[in-house]
């Protein structure tokens, strides 16, 4: 349960505290470290066959704690509008909707959540946008529509993956 990849995932949680400091360099460093740890934990877990159910839960949880913390700070400092922050969480809403679907189908307990490509793309884009905002770059409003599209695509990917796994089981 306590593995190097899980420890690396956990590092993202205290990195969120860097955003309580009004220091652009510290915030940018925290975002870059979050990007690195997000790539490194999964890579090491697969490379050294130390993947676990706990790790597949911890990694996205650490991502969400980090990203939501940063979004709260950015909205509070008026560097990001509330609606923009909400769009950046559309993939997470998609996962919640999918979870409700699994509950409705009675299959949540046996479903093994895995990382999905549109989830990875969304996380990367979130971190790049947050880094840009931290560095004073403004993005056109249309960019935030891409988070809605990625959320819908993530929902579709989750549904298709579930169907594929059920076919393989039979």
Number of separate domains in the chain: 1
The CATH number for 134's domain is 1.20.120
pLDDT over 70 at 120, yes or no: yes
In terms of pLDDT, which residue wins out, 112 or 151? Answer: 151
Q: What span, in angstroms and rounded, lies between the C-alpha atoms of 154 and 151? A: 5
pLDDT surpasses 90 at 157: yes
Residue 57: domain span: 4-169
At 1, the pLDDT band (50, 70, 90 cuts) reads: low
Q: How do residues 31-76 score in pLDDT, each as one tens digit?
A: 999 999 988 888 888 888 877 777 778 888 898 999 999 999 999 9
At residue 39, the pLDDT reads 86
Rounded CA-CA distance 158/152 in Å is: 10
Q: What is residue 19's DSSP assignment? A: G
pTM of the entire structure?
A: 0.88
Q: Judge whether 22 and 81 are in contact, CB under 8 Å.
A: no
Please name which of 150, 121, 113 lies closest in space to residue 38, comparing C-alpha atoms: 121
Average pLDDT over residues 86-112: 92
Rounded to whole angstroms, how far apart are CA atoms 116 and 123?
11
């Amino acid at each position: 349960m306590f593995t190097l990849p899980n420890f690396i995932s956990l590092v993202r949680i205290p990195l969120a505290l860097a955003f309580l400091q009004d220091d652009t360099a510290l915030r940018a460093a925290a975002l870059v470290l979050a990007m690195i740890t997000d790539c490194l934990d999964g890579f090491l877990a697969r490379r050294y066959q130390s993947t676990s159910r706990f790790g597949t839960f911890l990694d996205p949880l650490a991502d969400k704690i980090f990203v939501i913390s940063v979004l709260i700070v950015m909205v509070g400092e008026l560097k990001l509008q509330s609606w923009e922050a909400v769009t950046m969480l559309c993939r997470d809403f998609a996962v919640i909707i999918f979870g409700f679907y699994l509950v409705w189908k009675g299959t949540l307990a046996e479903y093994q959540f895995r990382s999905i490509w549109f989830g990875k793309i969304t996380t990367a884009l979130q971190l790049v946008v947050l880094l840009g905002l931290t560095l004073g770059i403004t993005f056109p409003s249309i960019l935030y529509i891409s988070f809605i599209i990625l959320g819908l695509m993530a929902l579709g990917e989750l549904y298709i993956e579930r169907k594929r796994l059920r076919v393989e089981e039979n």
